[in-house]
Structure 1
Amino acid sequence: MPHDSAPTPPNTAPHAASPSPAAAKSEDDRLPVSTKAAYAFGGVNDIFGHWWYANIAGNVFNMHLHLAPTLIAVVLTVSRIVDAFTDMFFGWVSDNTRSRWGRRRPWILGGSIAAGLALPCLFFASESWDASAPWMSNRLFWFMLISAVLYAPIISAYTMPYNSLGAELTPNYHERTNVMAWKAIVQKISGIPMMSVWWFAQTFHIDPATGKPDVLLGVQVASAAAGLVMILAGVANFRFVRERYYATAARQERTRFLDSLKTTFRSRPFLILLGILAAYAIPTMLVTNLGGYVSAYYVFGGDQARMGQYQSFSAVAYFVLGTAGVFVTSWVSRRFGKRLALTFTLVTGILAFGSSWWMYAPGHGWMVVLNTAFTGFAATGFWVVLPSMSADVVDDDELNTGKRREGAFSSVFSWISKVGMSLAVGGSFILLDLVGFDATREGNQSPEAILWIRLLFAGIPVVAMATALALLTRYPLNQKRMAAIRTALEQRRGTV
């Protein structure tokens, strides 16, 4: 699902106290294309490591193996909460690591290898296991729970150092947004195979004895291929991306976990960004799974193969408009500032999700594809700008504390989002039970259940994004303030 944005202000010369929006970037601030490409490639692991499983779990374990939605909700919720706490640990460990390879890169290499090898193991279930057994003796449930919980610290060992590295690649206000734009484009590309895996699983191998697809085999093969890509992404980051602030960070004292946590929560700009993140990401994650059920059982009448096909088309459309969203949002950010760029993406999201009420219509699969494309445009803009804003928060914190703590901020950001989003993912399956959804009825769901799923899918994101817009008006770190912070930092510790 895995898997933040805000508008991008203009850049400033290293020692200019009040640079204009048109001020040119210094050459030292510009990152080589190879560095941005290598770092962006690492974003694949965030998508595959966190969202691959969440995206396909409902299809595999509920639609195919018929495990109860509530039990799947328990697995996704518990594993994501464990993930959130291990993120906190690895963010702190990464900040305090000292090695010949830096603070982040050793963890990035080792974490990517372990996570890539382990990904296909999450689907080594057996169709012979009784999904209807009581939860205490339900082998399928316990397999899901144990494997997902064990995977959580493995992917955390990669993502926290990786996200922290992104915040320290450049001190340049605009270049930070450019880095996140590169990453967003690569992540859009990686979303295509992720959203196509169910279609692949339905068509990869047809059992000649039964005439039915071997779904589990298809998912395992696809996951193994995704795992290989994850390993290559980690190697690329280890090899081609350097840690710009390592010399500065290596001179500072190691911080204790609780002290670092307390200091992080004293940052007012950071708390505002946390609120925006929670208001946007948690509710949209809540309805992401519901969208698949609206497609499968309302638009396509229970025809999962056809739904899987259109999911693949939707993935391509999401990528195309999502990529367009990168360029449009980056332009708005450079021209008008990060806050207005984020406002633009949130308003677009309100329109996209609200229109799903009309665009998800029976028999009109292409309308679903178009709606998915519109949500991709909004989501990409959000995840381009918010990480760029969080990098600005790290500078503000360094000015106040004298320490570079990218890992602390990345881990708290992740903790809040993952705890909330785990409740959202789990909550979506609980909502399915509450509204009367029954997977065994396949395409014959009750009209009341379908109506409630459609209402929740369209309504929840609209209210949530309106809340995020209200919080955004309180964010204080504009371009002028960040120029002053950079000048003060470079006068104190020199340029990096």
Structure 2
Amino acid sequence: MSEVKHYSTATEDRIPFFQKFIYGLGALCNQLLTAAMSVIVIVLNIGLGMNPAWVGYIMAIPRFIDAVIDPIMGYITDQTKSQWGRRRPYIFIGALLSGIIFILMWQIPAAKSQHYYFAFFTIGFILFYIAYTIYAAPFIALGYEMTPDYHERTRLMSMTNIVGQFAWTITPWLYPIIWSAPSHKNFIDKVFAFLHLPETWKGAIVFTNLVDGARGISIWVGIFVALIGILPALFIRERFYEIAKSEDLTEAPKKTSAKEEIIASFKNFFKGFFITLRNLHFLKLCAAMFLVFNGFQLIGGLAPYNIIYYVYKGDQANASSFMCWFFTISSLMTSCVIPLILWFSTKVGKRNAFYISTWISIFGYALKWFCYSNENPYLLFIPTPFIAFGLGGLFTLVGSMMADVCDHDELQNGHRREGMFGAVNWWIVKLGMAVAFACSGHLLNIAGFDVNIGNVQDDSALFMMRFFEVSIPIVTSLLAMLAVTRYEITEEKAHEIREALEKKRGKATA
């Protein structure tokens, strides 16, 4: 399973720790928006009483629109030749807009109909995902171009995912806050008494119900994203910017009328889009990302329901406290296994490391079936280290492999198009996410879950919810490994591509 030949990383190819960390903070903001959304969105069903299928559509419809915008944003950022770079202006603007809109969309009007809430949140999510794409598309592209080195790319993605995982470490603690759990209130009372803080400040961190909790938490998250998300735009330089400027990425018309410029832009966009889709290495990685990530997304919302209604028999307060520890430990396990995945990659190559990490996660999902217990909830901690290898390996390795594919594409087509590759990858994934979100609500309905009957759900419904949570990611993970069986950019091949590129257009300087 080992690579044919290994190459050491040159000093000039190493990314300074500070820049890795700053890029990781950008990933933290990226992940925090998703993680916080996964906690807050439960208010639509349990807090506002909306049908789970309606909630699925609220999540899905904006994702379809978001998926269409992604390739357009990727093309725009590749085309930009500003004095601040191709990526940084959009990262700056996108972070601010994402934070502000996230706050506004969760300031939920009280006592409205389901039709009103459906329209309110659908429009809010659409606006949010437009802002989010303005941030995420250039941010992902920036990571692909921070180093030309095969292994340093994996080290960057390792650091990025370790820092980004912190979002999933802290957001579980939003559960007792949003649920107004007694343990949270008691803890806050002790902190305020010890620090002699004014009682009036408690309104910002202790809420009376789920809806108020969603309003308050969105303010915290939005402010953090707006302030921290701009840091990559301020402190990271674009290594391939000068090379990209020297490449004629567009085919401008001889005349310069506005109509002809628009037509030329459309032609160039679709040309780049279809060139991207013809790259077989890229499509194999997209398939792996699509399957593993959307398998996880499809069942991600089931875990809270299983913990609340099966493990804790509807005791939402105690279940929320348990979920804090469960999801925190799960996230910490992912951070812990990433260095091991990086080590696998340096020894046996990225594709083989992906196989190893995915097989380990499959074992973890299978083990989880036997660890769901309403007598001993803590058995659920046993499979978490194994399951952590799944998403840990996916985002560390596939992100690094995408950067290698960008080099392969440049050698074939003569252009740096990290924005288009990153955006089209997520375009494909988000189409799957839209389907996953739409289906996730139906999974609850198919299982037989009924929020109206309260804490005592049918045994058949509880069985099917656990079955879906375990079986779906196993199937999608197996298919993902099948998808990358013929991915052929090894370490030696990547080194050959880099040498050919540097001979052709020179080295990219930091």
| Alignment correspondent of 2:8 | 24
Equivalent residue pairs, number: 471
> How many angstroms apart in 2 are the aligned matches of 1:159 and 1:212?
31
- Tell me, yes or no, if structure 1 residue 222 matches structure 2 residue 220: no
| Alignment correspondent of 2:126 | 149
Q: Is the 1:324–1:377 contact (alpha carbons within 8 Å) kept by the matching residues of 2? A: no
Q: Is the 1:163–1:410 contact (alpha carbons within 8 Å) kept by the matching residues of 2? A: yes
Give the alignment partner of residue 332 of structure 1, picking from 344, 356, 368: 344
State the Cα distance separating 1:347 from its structure 2 match.
0.4
Change in CA separation of 1:79 and 1:415 when aligned onto 2, cut-off 3 Å? same
> How many angstroms apart in 2 are the aligned matches of 1:242 and 1:41?
15
TM-score by length of 2: 0.88
1:22-68 C-alpha deviation (Å, 9 max, x unpaired)? x33111101111111111100022212334324431x2110121111
Q: How does 1:290-309 map to 2 (within 5 A)?
A: 290-309=302-321
Q: Is the 2:31–2:165 contact (alpha carbons within 8 Å) kept by the matching residues of 1? A: no
The one-letter amino acid of 2:233's match is: F
Q: Is the 2:341–2:353 contact (alpha carbons within 8 Å) kept by the matching residues of 1? A: yes
> How many angstroms apart in 1 are the aligned matches of 2:234 and 2:117?
40
TM-score by length of 1: 0.91
1:434-462 C-alpha deviation (Å, 9 max, x unpaired)? 22211111211111111111111111111
| Alignment correspondent of 1:317 | 329
* Partner SS state of residue 69, structure 2: helix
| Alignment correspondent of 1:447 | 459
> How many angstroms apart in 1 are the aligned matches of 2:12 and 2:98?
34
1:186-206 C-alpha deviation (Å, 9 max, x unpaired)? 111111222222221123779
| Alignment correspondent of 2:263 | none
The one-letter amino acid of 1:333's match is: S
> How many angstroms apart in 2 are the aligned matches of 1:55 and 1:473?
36
> How many angstroms apart in 1 are the aligned matches of 2:62 and 2:387?
27
| Alignment correspondent of 1:231 | 226
Bigger drift between 198-207 and 218-227 goes to: 198-207
State the Cα distance separating 1:263 from its structure 2 match.
0.5
Bigger drift between 156-165 and 344-353 goes to: 344-353
Change in CA separation of 1:370 and 1:483 when aligned onto 2, cut-off 3 Å? same
- Tell me, yes or no, if structure 1 residue 201 matches structure 2 residue 178: yes
Give the alignment partner of residue 108 of structure 2, picking from 125, 150, 157: 125
> How many angstroms apart in 1 are the aligned matches of 2:75 and 2:454?
46
> How many angstroms apart in 1 are the aligned matches of 2:179 and 2:144?
40
The one-letter amino acid of 1:392's match is: D
Q: How does 1:107-122 map to 2 (within 5 A)?
A: 107-122=90-105
The one-letter amino acid of 1:417's match is: V
The one-letter amino acid of 1:87's match is: D
| Alignment correspondent of 1:92 | 75
> How many angstroms apart in 1 are the aligned matches of 2:364 and 2:358?
10
Give the alignment partner of residue 245 of structure 1, picking from 240, 243, 252: 240
| Alignment correspondent of 2:434 | 422
Unaligned runs of 5+ in 2: 187-201, 251-267
Give the ranges of 4+ consecutive aligned residues of structure 1 lying more than 6 Å apart after TM superposition. Answer: 204-208
| Alignment correspondent of 2:65 | 82
* Partner SS state of residue 301, structure 2: helix
Q: Is the 2:178–2:209 contact (alpha carbons within 8 Å) kept by the matching residues of 1? A: yes
Q: Is the 2:62–2:122 contact (alpha carbons within 8 Å) kept by the matching residues of 1? A: yes
The one-letter amino acid of 1:201's match is: I
- Tell me, yes or no, if structure 1 residue 182 matches structure 2 residue 159: yes
State the Cα distance separating 1:293 from its structure 2 match.
1.4
- Tell me, yes or no, if structure 1 residue 389 matches structure 2 residue 401: yes
> How many angstroms apart in 2 are the aligned matches of 1:225 and 1:369?
29
Q: Is the 1:54–1:76 contact (alpha carbons within 8 Å) kept by the matching residues of 2? A: no
Identical-pair percentage: 28
* Partner SS state of residue 101, structure 1: coil
Q: Is the 2:292–2:391 contact (alpha carbons within 8 Å) kept by the matching residues of 1? A: no
| Alignment correspondent of 1:163 | 140
Q: Is the 2:52–2:444 contact (alpha carbons within 8 Å) kept by the matching residues of 1? A: yes
> How many angstroms apart in 1 are the aligned matches of 2:306 and 2:480?
26
* Partner SS state of residue 289, structure 2: helix
Give the alignment partner of residue 489 of structure 2, picking from 466, 477, 488: 477
> How many angstroms apart in 2 are the aligned matches of 1:189 and 1:146?
29
State the Cα distance separating 1:322 from its structure 2 match.
0.8
| Alignment correspondent of 1:4 | none
The one-letter amino acid of 1:192's match is: T
State the Cα distance separating 1:294 from its structure 2 match.
1.2
- Tell me, yes or no, if structure 1 residue 34 matches structure 2 residue 18: yes
> How many angstroms apart in 1 are the aligned matches of 2:118 and 2:385?
34
State the Cα distance separating 1:116 from its structure 2 match.
0.9
Give the alignment partner of residue 465 of structure 1, picking from 477, 488, 496: 477
Q: Is the 1:313–1:369 contact (alpha carbons within 8 Å) kept by the matching residues of 2? A: no
State the Cα distance separating 1:221 from its structure 2 match.
2.1
Give the alignment partner of residue 371 of structure 1, picking from 383, 386, 394: 383
| Alignment correspondent of 2:500 | 488
> How many angstroms apart in 1 are the aligned matches of 2:377 and 2:100?
36
The one-letter amino acid of 2:85's match is: G
Q: Is the 1:299–1:362 contact (alpha carbons within 8 Å) kept by the matching residues of 2? A: yes
The one-letter amino acid of 2:15's match is: L
Q: Is the 1:77–1:422 contact (alpha carbons within 8 Å) kept by the matching residues of 2? A: yes
* Partner SS state of residue 129, structure 1: coil
